[in-house]
A = this chain, B = another copy of it.
């Protein structure tokens, strides 16, 4: 059994980790923390878990670092930078925040709004996107789990950029459900405002942009990345607009993606259009594309808490511990 701790277990990312690991056959969740809920039972805060766990939220200070095989850090941005440096080298650390995703401290500070505390520690972290970094993840002991938008956009663009078939800028119009904002009530997730609307936020400034650029690498294709708050709870639907260097058929586009993702367990190429309905509560990413002469639209849809956060973190854990990669992650999406 794998001994697991979850730091920051009361947020949506943390509780989704717990929910996912509860069906993992070799997971033994030993410890979970939540600074604001110390002493409270997890099932009291998340009554959906009544009868499934007796875990009680502990304070961060009680982290039994030496008695764990894995610690998931699901803390607000900035906290993991303080916690990670003190963790045992042999402990598998999987951080779900943005703290260790960005290599360049100046870029980090610009997008996150505070200095990067752990520039040295950051170098130890592998970017945990299995479809691109699988081999490095297998041997990593420090994994930085990608952002939800970043996962959607990198996976949509990576094959095209690798094949250098895009000309000029790429425009990304990425829509997210409200659970992406976490479980703390705020103006943008206040039901009277969120329920019947759609609105942009963070123009040209979303913190997932630099990690996308970092993974896609040197390119002449400028990326305009715009996020939107949409009135559903779960899911990201991301649209990517671009011009091709030359005419490609729909089948040629399909082949480009197949070359990179043909044997990927969690990427589904869809002949018809992706839809948030068909990836909900699962670790699958649906990718589809339409082409008209030299103009291409690529769509990706995923569950922001699964492939966009906790599901991918478990996928990374599986890889790093030599467990079958898809363990606990193969439930079909639910609909309706």
Contact = CB atoms under 8 A, between A and B. Distances in A.
A243 interface: yes
A331 interface: yes
Contact of A190 (B183, B231, B234, B274): B183
Counting chain A residues whose Cβ lies within 8 A of the other chain, the interface size class is: 35 or more
A329 interface: no
A200 interface: yes
Most buried by B among A185, A204, A281, A333: A185
Nearest to A288: B200
Contacts of A335: 46, 48, 193
A281 to B, nearest CB: 5
Contact of A336 (B47, B201, B233): B233
B168 A243 contact: yes
Interface string A292-304: 1001010100000
Interface string A215-227: 0000000101010
B197 A277 contact: yes
Interface string A260-288: 00000000101011111111111010100
Nearest to A49: B332
A9 interface: no
Interface stretch (A101-109, A132-140, A173-181): A173-181
A48 B193 contact: no
A24 interface: no
A290 B201 CA distance: 11
Given A231-B231, A241-B171, A193 B47 contact: no
Contacts of A233: 191-192, 195-196, 336
A211 to B, nearest CB: 18
A17 interface: no
A305 B335 CA distance: 11
B224 A241 contact: yes
B198 A276 contact: yes
Interface string A15-31: 00001001100000000
Contacts of A270: 47, 50
A52 interface: yes
A264 to B, nearest CB: 11
A273 B201 contact: yes
A185 B183 contact: no
A186 interface: yes
A88 interface: no
A10 interface: no
B278 A281 contact: no
Interface of A: 12, 19, 22-23, 46-52, 168-169, 171, 173, 175, 177-179, 183-187, 189-201, 203-204, 222, 224, 226, 228, 230-235, 237, 239, 241, 243, 268, 270, 272-282, 284, 286, 290, 292, 295, 297, 299, 305, 331-336
3 closest residue pairs by CB, A with B: A185-B185, A192-B336, A171-B241
